[in-house]
Chains A and B, each alone.
Chain A
Amino acid sequence: MGIANRFPWGSRRRASRGEALPDRLFRGLVFGCALAVSALLVVFVLVLFRQSWPTITAFGWGFLFSSSWNTGAVVGSGQSYGALPFVYGTLVTAAIAMLLGIPLSIGIAIFVSELAPPWVKTPLAVLVELLAAVPSVVYGLWGFLILGPTMRTTIEPPLKAVLGWTPLFGGPIFGIDYLTAGVILAIMVIPTISAVTRESMSAVPEHQREAALSLGATRWETTRLGVLSYARVGIFGAIILGLGRAVGETMAVTMTIGNSNTISGSLLAPGQTIASLIANEFGEASGLQVSALLELGLVLLLIAIAINVVARLLTRRIFQTEATTL
C-alpha cells in the first residue's frame, strides 16, 4: 500500500489540532454523516429486536423450530407462530441456487478471464453483468409467466420420471415451487459470483500462469494449478456473497415459489421463504403477526449480516470492483 503510506491527510488526531473553524466544521459534518450511516445498522437490529419482543417472549427459541403458522383467522383457535417452514424454504432455495449457480459462475469466470480470445472478453463480461441490471421483479414476472410453465411442462416431468423415487422429486408437479424459485435464484447470483471470481482470478500474478505454462501445462492445467488454487479464497468469498444475495432475494422468489406456509419434502411442491412470507403477509398483518414477521426480519437480517461479514473479510483485497458491478 504505497499510496497509503504517502497519504498526507492521515486522520491522526494531531491533524485536527490547529485547524481553522471551517475545516473543523467540515470535518465534523463528514464525520457526522459517516457515523449516521454506520449507526443505521445498529438502529436496524435494535428496532427489529424491540418490535419483535412480543413473539420473542411468547415463543422463545421454539419460534425457530415450530412449523405452525396460525394467524388466528380460524375462530376459536389461538395464534401461534413458527418459522421452520420459511427457514427451510430459504435454505432449500439457496442450496439449489448455489448448486446450479456456482459451477456456472466459475465456468463463466474461467472462460472470460483465462480461455476466451481477448476480443470477446469484454463483450461477454458485459453481457453476463447485464443479468444484474434486470430488476428482481422482472425476474419474478418472467419466472411466473415463462420459466414456471416451462418447468411444469418440459423440465419437471422428466426429472420426476428419472428421480421420482426419491422424496425430493415426489408428489404432483406445480411448476411454481421450490425448484423454480431456486433456478431463478441461480440465474440471479451468476453476475455476482462470476464478477467477483473474475476479479480474484485477474488478481493472480502473471508469473503463476507463466510458471505453469513453462512446465508444459495446457491452458486448463494452467487455470487449475496456477490460477484457481491461487484465487480460491477470493472465489470462496464470491460464493458467500452470492449466497447472501440468494438468501435475501424477495420479489423473484415471492412470484415463483407458490406461497404455501407448509414444509414439503418435495422440491416440486410450493413453499415459502422468510423474505417471500414477509412480502406476502406484512401488508395485511396485525397484532402478534406483525411481531412474528418482524422477528423473521430480524432472523433474516442477522443471517445477512453474518454472511456479508464473512464475504467481505474474504474478498477484502479484491473488493474495489464489487461495488461497481451493477
Chain B
Amino acid sequence: MRKQGRRRRITNAAMSAAAFACVIIALVPLASILYSAAVEGGKAIGPAFFTQNEPPPCSPTLQANCPTGGIANALQGTLILVGIATLIALPLGILTGIYLSEYGRLSRFGAGVRFVTDVMTGIPSIVVGIVIFAIFLLVAQAGWIPLRYVTSATSGIVALTVIMTPIVARTVEEALRLVPTTIREAALALGIPRWRAILRIVLSTGKAGVVTGALLAVARASGETAPLIVTAGGSFFGFAGFDQSIAAMPLLIYVNGLSGVPNYVTLAWGTALVLILIMLGISLAARLALHRVLKGAGAAR
C-alpha cells in the first residue's frame, strides 16, 4: 500500500517536471530568436537604416564594396500595402462580422458563412498569393487591365486584403456576440431603426473587439511574405505607382537573409528586429483590447 503510494507520488512529480520541461523547451527558440534579432539586428540600426533604400544584388566576392543601405523603401512599401489593404478589409470584415452576429446568428446560411470564414483563415497564404496572381492574369488576358498589374502593388494589396478580411470578420462577430441582448432591445424600444442601432450602439459597445480584430489582421498582414513574393514582387526602389512592383519588409528579410553578403544579412536581422517589435507591440495592444472586451462583457452580465 505504502509502496504504491510512493510510486504514484513519483509519477506525479515526474509528470509535473516533464510538463514544466516542455514549457522551457518551447521558450528556448523564442529566446534565441529574440536574442539574435536584438544582437545582430542592433548592429544594423542607425540613421542610414531608416533613410536609405534596400541595396541592389551584389556579388559576394566584392563584399567590401557592397553598400549596406537601409529599409526606407521596404518600410514605405509595407505601410502602403498593409495600410490600403486594411482600409479595404476593415469595412468588408466588419460588415461580414455584423451579418454573422446580427442577422445570421441563428440561420443556416449564417452558419455556412461562419464555417467558410473559419476555413479561409486556415488557407495557406502562398495559395492566396498564386490565386490572386492567376485571377489578375485572367483579367489582364481578357484585356480589362494592363498586364503589368499582375505583379504590382495592386495585386499585393488584394492578396493581403483576402488574408485580412476573414480574420476581421470572425473577431468582430465574436465581439458583437458579447454585446448583451438587452442593449439591442433598449435601442429598438426607443424606436431607433435597426441599421442605426447596429452601427451606432451595438458596434460602439463592441468597439474594443473591432480594434482587436483590426490589430490581429494588421499583424498577420505585416509579416506575410509568401503571397507578396508572387504578387507585389519586391523592389529596390521606393513606391513607383500601383501598376509597379513594390518592396516590403518581409521580402527584404527573405532576399537579404539568404544573400550570403554579411552586411546584407545584418540588414535582414535589423529588419527582422523592427518587424518583431511591431508585432509585439500589436500583440500587446490586441491583448489589452481583448482584456477590455472580456471585462466589458463580464460587467454587462
User: Does B45 have its Cβ within 8 Å of any Cβ on chain A?
Assistant: no
- CB within 8 Å of A: which B81-98 residues: 92-93, 95-96, 98
Q: Which of B124, B170, B258, B286 meets A304, CB within 8 Å?
A: B124
Q: Measured between alpha carbons, how far is A44 from B124 in the docked complex, in Å? A: 12
Task: Give, as a whole number of angstroms, the nearest-CB distance from B258 to chain A.
Answer: 7
CB-CB under 8 A for A282 and B105, given A22-B193, A130-B30, A133-B219: no
User: Does A10 have its Cβ within 8 Å of any Cβ on chain B?
Assistant: yes
- CB within 8 Å of B: which A18-53 residues: 19-20, 22-23, 25-27, 29-31, 33-38, 40-41, 43-44, 47-48, 51
User: Does B190 have its Cβ within 8 Å of any Cβ on chain A?
Assistant: no
The answer to whether B113 and A4 have CB atoms under 8 Å apart is no
The number of chain A residues with a CB under 8 A from chain B is 103
Q: Measured between alpha carbons, how far is A89 from B117 in the docked complex, in Å? A: 28
Q: Measured between alpha carbons, how far is A293 from B230 in the docked complex, in Å? A: 12
- Stretch of B5-13, B54-62, B65-73 at the chain-chain interface: B5-13
User: Does A212 have its Cβ within 8 Å of any Cβ on chain B?
Assistant: no
Q: Measured between alpha carbons, how far is A220 from B9 in the docked complex, in Å? A: 9
The answer to whether B126 and A248 have CB atoms under 8 Å apart is yes
Q: Measured between alpha carbons, how far is A249 from B224 in the docked complex, in Å? A: 11
The answer to whether B166 and A37 have CB atoms under 8 Å apart is yes
Q: Measured between alpha carbons, how far is A234 from B139 in the docked complex, in Å? A: 43
The answer to whether A248 and B125 have CB atoms under 8 Å apart is yes
CB-CB under 8 A for A111 and B20, given A141-B257, A282-B230: yes
The answer to whether A142 and B32 have CB atoms under 8 Å apart is yes
Across-interface contacts of B120 in A (CB, < 8 A): 37-38, 40-41
Q: Bits for B117-147, please: 1 = Cβ < 8 Å to A, else 0.
A: 1111111111110110111011000000000
Q: Which of B25, B106, B212, B222 meets A10, CB within 8 Å?
A: B106
The answer to whether B126 and A275 have CB atoms under 8 Å apart is yes
Task: Give, as a whole number of angstroms, the nearest-CB distance from A306 to chain B.
Answer: 10
The answer to whether B16 and A115 have CB atoms under 8 Å apart is yes
User: Does B184 have its Cβ within 8 Å of any Cβ on chain A?
Assistant: yes
- CB within 8 Å of B: which A122-152 residues: 124, 126-131, 133-142, 144-147
The answer to whether A221 and B119 have CB atoms under 8 Å apart is no
Task: Give, as a whole number of angstroms, the nearest-CB distance from B138 to chain A.
Answer: 7
Task: Count A/B pairs, Cβ under 8 Å.
Answer: 308
Across-interface contacts of A138 in B (CB, < 8 A): 33, 37, 223, 253, 272, 275-276
The answer to whether A218 and B130 have CB atoms under 8 Å apart is no
The answer to whether A221 and B102 have CB atoms under 8 Å apart is no
The answer to whether A307 and B12 have CB atoms under 8 Å apart is no
Q: Which of A110, A130, A140 meets B283, CB within 8 Å?
A: A130
- Stretch of A100-108, A161-169, A260-268 at the chain-chain interface: A100-108
Q: Measured between alpha carbons, how far is A308 from B121 in the docked complex, in Å? A: 9
Which among A20, A40, A326 has the greatest number of chain B C-beta atoms within 10 A? Answer: A326
User: Does A85 have its Cβ within 8 Å of any Cβ on chain B?
Assistant: no
User: Does A57 have its Cβ within 8 Å of any Cβ on chain B?
Assistant: no
Q: Measured between alpha carbons, how far is A130 from B281 in the docked complex, in Å? A: 11
The answer to whether A124 and B23 have CB atoms under 8 Å apart is yes
The answer to whether B12 and A128 have CB atoms under 8 Å apart is no
Task: Give, as a whole number of angstroms, the nearest-CB distance from A245 to chain B.
Answer: 8
Across-interface contacts of B48 in A (CB, < 8 A): none
Which among A108, A112, A319 has the greatest number of chain B C-beta atoms within 10 A? Answer: A108
The number of chain B residues with a CB under 8 A from chain A is 105
The answer to whether A135 and B103 have CB atoms under 8 Å apart is no
Q: Which of A11, A22, A40, A282 meets B107, CB within 8 Å?
A: A11
Across-interface contacts of B8 in A (CB, < 8 A): 218, 221
Q: Measured between alpha carbons, how far is A133 from B216 in the docked complex, in Å? A: 10
The answer to whether A305 and B123 have CB atoms under 8 Å apart is yes
Query: Which partner residue on chain B sits nearest A141 by CB separation?
Result: B257
The answer to whether A108 and B26 have CB atoms under 8 Å apart is yes
User: Does A187 have its Cβ within 8 Å of any Cβ on chain B?
Assistant: yes
The answer to whether A137 and B290 have CB atoms under 8 Å apart is no
User: Does A320 have its Cβ within 8 Å of any Cβ on chain B?
Assistant: yes
Across-interface contacts of A22 in B (CB, < 8 A): 193, 195-196
The answer to whether B103 and A108 have CB atoms under 8 Å apart is no
Further contacts, 19 of them, CB under 8 A, given A146-B32, A300-B126: A11-B103, A22-B196, A38-B117, A48-B130, A104-B26, A107-B19, A115-B16, A129-B283, A130-B283, A133-B282, A135-B250, A141-B268, A145-B36, A221-B12, A247-B124, A255-B258, A301-B123, A320-B174, A323-B167
8 tightest Cβ-Cβ pairs between the two chains A and B:
A248-B124, A135-B223, A107-B22, A26-B195, A111-B19, A308-B122, A250-B226, A218-B12
Query: Which chain A residues have a beta carbon within 8 Å of chain B's beta carbons?
Result: 3-4, 6-12, 19-20, 22-23, 25-27, 29-31, 33-38, 40-41, 43-44, 47-48, 51, 103-108, 110-112, 115, 124, 126-131, 133-142, 144-147, 187, 190, 194, 218-221, 223, 241, 244-245, 247-251, 254-255, 275, 278-279, 282-283, 293-294, 297, 300-301, 304-305, 307-309, 311-312, 319-320, 323-324, 326
Query: Which chain B residues have a beta carbon within 8 Å of chain A's beta carbons?
Result: 8-9, 11-12, 15-16, 18-23, 25-27, 29-30, 32-33, 36-37, 92-93, 95-96, 98-100, 102-107, 110, 112-113, 115-128, 130-131, 133-135, 137-138, 162, 165-167, 169-171, 174, 177, 181, 184-185, 188, 193-196, 198, 212, 216, 219, 222-226, 229-230, 233, 250, 253-254, 257-258, 265, 268-269, 272, 275-276, 279-280, 282-283, 286-287, 290
10 A-B interface contacts by CB (under 8 A): A9-B102, A30-B103, A37-B116, A107-B23, A136-B223, A219-B16, A241-B122, A245-B122, A255-B254, A323-B216
